[in-house]
Chain A
Amino acid sequence: MSKPTLDFRAIYDAHFDFVWRSLRRLGVREPDVLDLAQKVFLTAHFKLADFEGRSLVSTWLFGICQRVASDYRRSALIRREVSTDNAELDSVATWNEDLSDKSDSRRRARTAEAILNKLPEPQRIVFVLFELEEMSGQDIATLLDVSVGTVRSRLRLARDTFRREVKRLSAVNASGRKEAV
């Protein structure tokens, strides 16, 4: 019986960074990640007995991250802390500087996250795992327990949305600057 508890510590040490990154990727805002990572591991601790190595530890933890982040997103939406609203997105994304100005990386990150928030969750997950975590389509399919074909089609849809939003923001921004002049 002491084995799973020992393993829990090992799991924590080996996967903390993974859980942290996953939560960030799943739309959890930075100030909230610590709390939610804790929640993920607390859940994992109590579910460890059920886990029994039926999948990879990372797959299992990612599943918990998804549920925790999904609850979080729902309540954050209710509190209006995460916006998918165009007008608000535009205000976040209205730069005074040129879009490619290196100095404003924080604002760019917020903009990118705001765009990701517009993606339906299944697409968002595939998109970030592929584009940012640089996982292969096959690995993502295994992680999410879906087919590679599904992964590719979600990726395609997510990319379409992402690029459309970037173009739209770019246009909004250009016209905003013109008005300012």
Chain B
Amino acid sequence: MSDPHRLLSKLSDGDDLERELLGSIQRADPPEHAKAEAWARLSTQIAAVALVGSAHGSAAAASAGAGQSAAAEGASAAAGAGAKSALAPIALKALGAKIAVALAVAGAAIGASAVWVHVRAAADHAVSSPPVTQAPVPTVTPNVEPAAATPSEPVAAPSDPTPSDPEPQAASDATAKPSAEQRRRDQLSAESSLLTQARAELRKGDARGAQQVLNKLQAQFPKGMLGQEREVLAIEVLAARGNATAAKHRAQAFIAAYPESPHSAQLSRFTDAP
């Protein structure tokens, strides 16, 4: 027994109108910018969650600064308010609100002007999201929209009780025995703060200082999650130190290795250089 002919195929018994209608929605590829934009937001969110998640540890407070204690306080508050449950994908909508807090904190604490941290994009996103009911408790407050009171729709199960989701209490056990997830978030948080530091050095015009931080980053996180971002920054540092040829070669290597990366387009300015 084989599949029937597709309605869009002339071999099927579909009529012209059916084909017209179906054909009108056949193409559904993302617009060009979407992939890079989504990644920028995503890495911000992941980093923000890492920051919030590590507030009980001290990783977030690793680099000292004037706004540090306020930042740590804010982060703990955010963590207390719901970062624990934030790990359960069920609560992702609620997570949006926490992330907005964490982003503000991150912005204050680490002066996140890094290219990969599109705080603005994410903040805009957070603002444009439908309002989340202010939840005093972290728990399951599913993402019921404020307009959810329509009688015809049962509101009982607005989110999927996926059995495979991690237990909500799993994260709160983290103090006893850090989960792999916890460690991953701590590491990501440390990695992203080093990367931000390196970028800040470069912005200040201290390419040598940036290079030193990048070396540290390379040594501590040889296979870090932000490896692509580190390499892009390393290329910028090379160029800033006047080593255009090396920058060009590494940009070429990057583009060859990650042709689909959103950074590759941006690196072409180095490969196009004479």
Q: Which residues of A contact B (CB under 8 A)?
A: 1-6, 8-9, 12-14, 16-17, 20-21, 24-25, 33-35, 37-39, 41-43, 45-47, 49-50, 64, 67, 70-71, 74-75, 77-80, 99-100, 105, 108-109, 111-113, 115-116, 130-132, 134, 136-137, 152, 155, 159, 162-163, 166, 170
Contact = CB atoms under 8 A, between A and B. Distances in A.
B2 to A, nearest CB: 8
28 contacts: A1-B184, A1-B187, A5-B188, A5-B225, A6-B223, A6-B227, A9-B228, A13-B35, A14-B260, A16-B30, A17-B29, A21-B28, A24-B25, A33-B30, A34-B34, A35-B129, A39-B92, A41-B42, A46-B89, A67-B160, A74-B158, A99-B17, A108-B21, A116-B25, A131-B22, A132-B8, A162-B18, A170-B17
A42 B86 CA distance: 11
Given A21-B28, A24-B28, A38 B41 contact: yes
A-B interface, 7 closest residue pairs, ranked by CB to CB distance from nearest: A2-B223, A24-B28, A5-B225, A43-B89, A20-B30, A108-B24, A109-B24
Q: Name the residue in B24, B45, B46 with the highest tally of chain A Cβ atoms < 10 Å from its Cβ.
A: B24
Contacts of B227: 6, 9
Nearest to B188: A5
Contacts of A155: 4
Contacts of A50: 164, 166
Given A78-B150, A109-B25, A2 B224 contact: yes
B216 interface: no
Contact of B17 (A35, A130, A166): A166
B41 A70 contact: no
B268 to A, nearest CB: 17
Given A25-B28, A71-B158, A99-B20, A34 B37 contact: yes
Contacts, number: 156
Contacts of A25: 28
B110 to A, nearest CB: 20
Interface of B: 1, 3-4, 6-8, 14, 16-18, 20-22, 24-26, 28-30, 34-35, 37-39, 41-42, 45-46, 87, 89, 92, 95, 125, 129, 143, 145, 147-148, 150, 153, 155, 158-160, 162, 164, 166, 180-181, 183-184, 187-188, 221-225, 227-228, 258, 260-261
A78 B148 contact: yes
A136 B164 CA distance: 28
Contacts of A33: 30, 34
Contact of A115 (B21, B183, B225): B21
A37 B223 contact: no
Q: Name the residue in A12, A75, A163 with the highest tally of chain B Cβ atoms < 10 Å from its Cβ.
A: A75
Contact of A112 (B4, B22, B158): B22
A115 B18 CA distance: 11
A43 to B, nearest CB: 4
Would you call the interface of chain B mostly helix, strand, loop, or mixed?
A: loop
Q: Name the residue in B8, B39, B224 with the highest tally of chain A Cβ atoms < 10 Å from its Cβ.
A: B39
B210 to A, nearest CB: 23
A166 B22 CA distance: 10
B177 to A, nearest CB: 15
Contacts of B225: 2, 5-6, 8-9
Contacts of A152: 1, 3-4
B153 A74 contact: yes
A113 B20 contact: no
Given A37-B34, A74-B153, A130-B6, A1 B158 contact: no
Contacts of A71: 143, 158-160
B162 A46 contact: no
Contacts of B39: 12, 16
B92 A43 contact: yes
Given A42-B46, A43-B92, A75-B158, A34 B20 contact: no
Contacts of B41: 38
Contacts of A13: 35, 258, 260-261
A112 B8 CA distance: 13
B38 A38 contact: yes
Q: Name the residue in B89, B145, B225 with the highest tally of chain A Cβ atoms < 10 Å from its Cβ.
A: B89
